[in-house]
Amino acid sequence: MLLMQFVGLQIADAVTTLLFLRHGVDEANPLIRLAMAMFGQPALGLAIAKALGIGVALVAWRTGRCGLLRKINLLFAACVAWNLLTIVLSPATAFAG
């Protein structure tokens, strides 16, 4: 269950990040910014970074480091909540399609 939560949170974080990027908001995480720049396409860099993160989470899950995975899930849940709150509270014109 913890691993599936992690994967879901990674997807939610990627979707909200791509939404921000589409509307001109810069990525705040310098490592993700670097990955997006290295691969030339933000979506590709983000996907590779998320895949690596899921790989690390899989290792944590398989080695019984469930406490670590719970903490990381809380961190990403907070990030996704922040992203969603920012989207909801932003001026309507900033995120209009």
pLDDT digits (tens, 9 = 90+) for 39-68: 989 999 999 999 999 999 999 999 999 999
- How confident is residue 86, by pLDDT bands cut at 50, 70 and 90? confident
- How confident is residue 91, by pLDDT bands cut at 50, 70 and 90? low
The pLDDT of residue 84: 86
The pLDDT of residue 85: 84
pTM of the model as a whole: 0.85
Tokens of 88: 């909801």
pLDDT tens-digit map of 4-36: 999 999 999 999 999 888 877 888 899 999 999
pLDDT tens-digit map of 66-75: 999 999 999 9
**How many Cβ atoms are within 10 Å of 81's Cβ, its own excluded?**
12
- What Cα–Cα distance (Å) separates residue 29 from each residue in 2, 17, 51? 24, 11, 16
Distance CA 85, CA 69 (A): 24
